[in-house]
Chain A
Amino acid sequence: MNRKPRRTFRQRLFTVLESLPFLAPLLIFLAILYGMLAWTLYVSMANWVGTAPNYEFVGLKWYQMMFRLDRFRVDMTNNVKWLSLGVLPTVALALFLAYMLEIGSVKRIEGYVRTLILYPVAMSFVVTGTIWSWMYQPDKGVLNTILRAIGLTELIGRYTTNPATATYWLILIFIWQYLGFAVIILQSSFRTTELQEMVEAAIVDGASKLRILFSVIVPNIRGGILILISLLLISALKVFDIVYVVTFGGPGYSTDVLALFMFIATFQQHLVALGAGLGMIIFLMALVIVIPYTIYAFRKWFE
């Protein structure tokens, strides 16, 4: 009997016919997605104003117009606030909490704290926005009522109704919602055998707790921190619902962000070309955030 040499698993890669059922759905949806992306790019360079499509090519006209808008400048400033203040404090707090749970707590406290701070992950921004609007309401809202009741009247604030600080109060809702998410991602990074052994060794050597955190743990979970920062940045960039529900960009447009302006420009002001341009700006920012994430994921995936 003359047996053909059996090809190994690696060599027997998918043949085209065999891969088709696996690939077809994914490819179709990706094609739609990237097709629409190109379409948006084209619309941003067309002269589309009003509800009826207009594909007359006008180049960068609407981008030039966008860059001159005061609202666009306010949006960029607010987006930068979201990206920095929504992300860095969350990562720092989460790092502290994850470390604290890891070194200092009993099992039961750990489970309690995790459930406690993680439940908002299951809730939508519309719901958290509804709750926090009620908390922040300056006249009869929960926070001010409590402050008044315990006599701390000087702490009573205007929260999201003060244009100067409103964005910061919105960002606080975001941090509240994402803290638990950040903690579990960091905790899972802690739990590699190598790192555990290194920490044990550092404890034996008598290193202080802060030293262990910054010299042993942080350098060894850079991958986890990179992923976490990317995910938080992209969520902060996408924020639309919190702003829509709590302030709708107000007072004035002091809390407006690109994501909300894109919606308003396109569907309320019918400046569709401008909306598409704003969409492209959001896409470029997302791309900058997603590229390091994708490279890291790529290396891990194909290692």
Chain B
Amino acid sequence: MRIRGLSTQLIVLLVTLVLTGVYVLPIYVMVMTSLKTPVEISQRAYLIPTRNLQFQNYAEAFRLIYPSLINSSIISFAVTLLAVFFGGLGGYYLSRSRSPFVRVLFILVGVALYLPYQVILIPLVQLMAKTRLALTYAGLIVSYLILNVPLASVLMGTFFLSIPRELEEAAQVDGANRLQLFFRVVSPISLPAYASTAIIVFTQVWNEFLLALTLSTPATTTIQVKLAEVKGSFVALYNIQMASALIGVLIPLSFFLFLGRYFIRGVLAGALKG
């Protein structure tokens, strides 16, 4: 659909300009601030680039948040791998069975899908403390899996629904069982779906704050907890705050910039548009 006309084009231009301001300004100021000295920041020329760029701000920020970057990488990576694997299995079942049981299961998964963590936080803390998992990465990994396995199942299932059944029927005639069908026929042609789901789960876990704040110990502090801490304790050092935040968004943001297609397909699958 295209409706051309001078007034429409003017509106498009105007809206594009306004949006550019609203969405570029924060990130621009952020980058500028991260490259200045506190003295330069106090001169309040926020939009003007500085002459000597303070790249050591990034070195200092990196030193500060480095352990939490490692922690978050390990946790997010492990959760992503496991959630995508389990989610693929569960999603395949949800997408292929039509039994009354799977209908009930679907409702249970649907309600679990976007459940706020507050609802299970108290038992989770108790369990983690009792099993001593709280002190290790495993505690956070298991906790994240509880909500991300249902999510990954629905995302993967949405993609599986769009695969024509003929392929499986043909393989079935050749005597393949369900597991062979899944691993040899369905999964290999669903690699883009796995990529989309993995990106969504990774981004969610990387960006999650409440659980991490409650469950992480000094040894397992995640990046978001560390960033909130940096914001709280380096109140006047906006350059360090901004540099840390920029390092912290690097991984999810590069997924978005370089694997945008998969990223968007994952977001759309979350809205049930496979």
Contacts and interface: CB of A to CB of B under 8 A. Distances in A.
Interface in A26-77: 26, 29-30, 32-37, 39-40, 43, 53
B99 interface: yes
Given A109-B12, A122-B263, A259-B118, A103 B2 contact: yes
Contact of B115 (A33, A43, A126, A276): A33
Contact of A124 (B108, B119, B249): B249
Contacts of B12: 100, 104-105, 109
B119 A279 contact: yes
Q: How large is the interface on A (under 10, 10 to 19, 20 to 34, 35 or more residues)?
A: 35 or more
B260 A115 contact: yes
A237 interface: yes
Contact of A36 (B123, B157, B263): B123
Contact of A300 (B20, B42, B272): B272
A134 B116 contact: no
Q: How large is the interface on B (under 10, 10 to 19, 20 to 34, 35 or more residues)?
A: 35 or more
Given A40-B123, A290-B113, A244 B268 contact: no
Nearest to A101: B12
B58 interface: no
B3 A135 contact: no
Interface string B86-115: 110110111111110001011111111111
A40 B3 contact: no
A25 interface: yes
A130 B245 contact: yes
Contacts, number: 301
A258 B178 CA distance: 45
Given A30-B109, A103-B3, A200-B1, A131 B26 contact: yes
B120 interface: yes
A33 B207 contact: no
A185 B256 contact: no
A133 interface: yes
Interface stretch (B49-57, B131-139, B141-149, B190-198): B141-149
Interface string A269-294: 00010011011101100110011011
A37 B120 contact: yes
B15 A100 contact: yes
B257 to A, nearest CB: 8
Contacts of A298: 103, 106-107, 110
Nearest to B178: A18
A132 B238 CA distance: 12
Given A227-B271, A266-B122, A97 B46 contact: no
B114 A116 contact: no
Contacts of B122: 39-40, 43, 266, 272, 275-276, 279
Contact of B267 (A127, A181, A279, A287): A181
A224 B270 CA distance: 12
B90 A9 contact: no
B24 interface: yes
- Of the listed residues A33, A39, A276, the one surrounded by the most CB atoms of chain B closer than 10 A to its CB is A33
Contacts of A244: 209, 213, 228
Interface in A120-163: 120-127, 129-135, 140, 142, 145-146
Given A13-B97, A33-B120, A262-B118, A22 B3 contact: no
A134 B118 CA distance: 28
Contacts of A301: 94-95, 106, 157, 161, 272
B217 interface: no
Interface of B: 1-5, 8-9, 11-12, 15-16, 19-20, 22-27, 29-30, 33, 42, 44, 46-47, 86-87, 89-90, 92-99, 103, 105-124, 126-127, 145-147, 149-150, 153-154, 157, 161, 165, 168-169, 172-173, 177-179, 182, 203, 206-210, 213-214, 224, 227-228, 231, 238, 241-242, 245, 248-249, 252-253, 255-257, 260, 263-264, 267-268, 270-273
Given A184-B268, A263-B210, 4 more contacts: A263-B118, A282-B116, A293-B110, A294-B107
13 contacts: A9-B165, A25-B86, A25-B90, A118-B264, A124-B248, A131-B26, A185-B268, A238-B114, A258-B118, A279-B121, A279-B122, A282-B116, A290-B114
